[in-house]
Amino acid sequence: MVATDISCAVQGLSGVPVTVEVDVANGLPSFTIVGLTDRSSQEARERVRAAVRNAGFDFPARRVTVNLASAEVAKGL
């Protein structure tokens, strides 16, 4: 993994820790988020791309994989 960070998901009125792990590897350019439902993952991909672009960075033309752990925690990005 290239980077690991701790974030938070909201469940009811409390927060639950979520570990965000990112790997950037050689290969065909792709961007994958694992640890979400299919629909949430598709929406989150577009929001992440927009955030990177609006922060003034170029999105890497490499294989990017983001893991949101733990899998049993519902994440409503």
- pLDDT for 13 equals 86
Task: Work out the number of other CB atoms within 10 angstroms of the CB of residue 23.
Answer: 14
Q: Could you give the angle at the alpha carbon of 50 between the alpha carbons of 44 and 53, nearest 5°?
A: 140
User: Which residue did the predictor score with more confidence, 63 or 9?
Assistant: 63
Q: Is 20 helix (H, G, I), strand (E, B) or coil?
A: strand
Structure tokens at 39: 């629909």
Q: Evaluate if residue 4 carries a pLDDT over 80.
A: yes
* Tens-digit pLDDT profile for residues 15-71: 888 888 999 999 999 998 888 766 777 788 888 889 889 999 998 899 999 888 876
- Does domain 3-69 sit in CATH 3.30.230.10? yes
- pLDDT for 54 equals 94
Rounded to two decimals, the pTM is 0.76
Q: Taking Cα atoms as reference points, which of 11, 23, 16, 10 lies closest to residue 67?
A: 23
Domains of the chain by residue range: 3-69
Question: From CA 25, how far away is CA 11, in angstroms rounded?
Answer: 33
